[in-house]
Structure 1
Amino acid sequence: GNLHLSLCDWGPAQNVFDQLLMKRVSSVEAYSKLSMGNIYFANLNVPKNYGKHLKKASDLYKSILQKDKANAYAANGIGTILAEKGEIFKAKEVFNRVREVSGDTIADAH
């Protein structure tokens, strides 16, 4: 899946992560959902699927956070969704929390 992601081969990557999710392997579930969310987000440039892809990415990130509220990668995904929707202040709050829990000490660039 990662090889396909690195080559921007979204369809084959999605197939790999879908197969992993169908097998219900708990050790890779969050990573697979995160990767699927990232695939949907990366494909927002297709106008006819914009709303569907935005919602699907958001749903995947949220499902990860329901099981693991401390998953910084999924929270970062929620931040990108909020920013994409123009909810900049909410996005900034999410990104600040992600930075806090990840130990990043770079100050805000105003």
Structure 2
Amino acid sequence: MQTITVEPLAQEHIQILRLTSTPHLSGGLDTIAPYSVWITYRLNTGANQHTWTAAVSGYRVLRNGVTDMDAASIVLTNLADQDTTPDWLTDLIAKYTPSW
């Protein structure tokens, strides 16, 4: 039997949440009425802080404010979008952060 040497590089934890009564979210050219979010937390080996990515899915909101049935998503990360992440999403990210 061959011995394989491995080195852990990172840990990831994913939370998938259904959203209700969530305010519209805008990112780039899209505005969506969110219905779910996938939050991926990542802790690289040797790091003392994790990173997160939130992929928010929802129905596209047209310019006239009407919610369309076309699905769209907006992806936010703590590395690029920390200052523009809405409070409701920041609260969810903090609430579901793993203890590692």
The TM-score, its normalising length taken from structure 1, stands at 0.26
Normalized per residue, the structure richer in strand is 2
Q: Flag the structure with more relative contact order, 1 or 2, with Cα contacts below 8 A and sequence separation at least 6.
A: 2
Q: Comparing both structures, which one devotes a greater share of its residues to helix?
A: 1
- Greater C-alpha radius of gyration: 2
TM-score where L is the length of structure 2 = 0.28
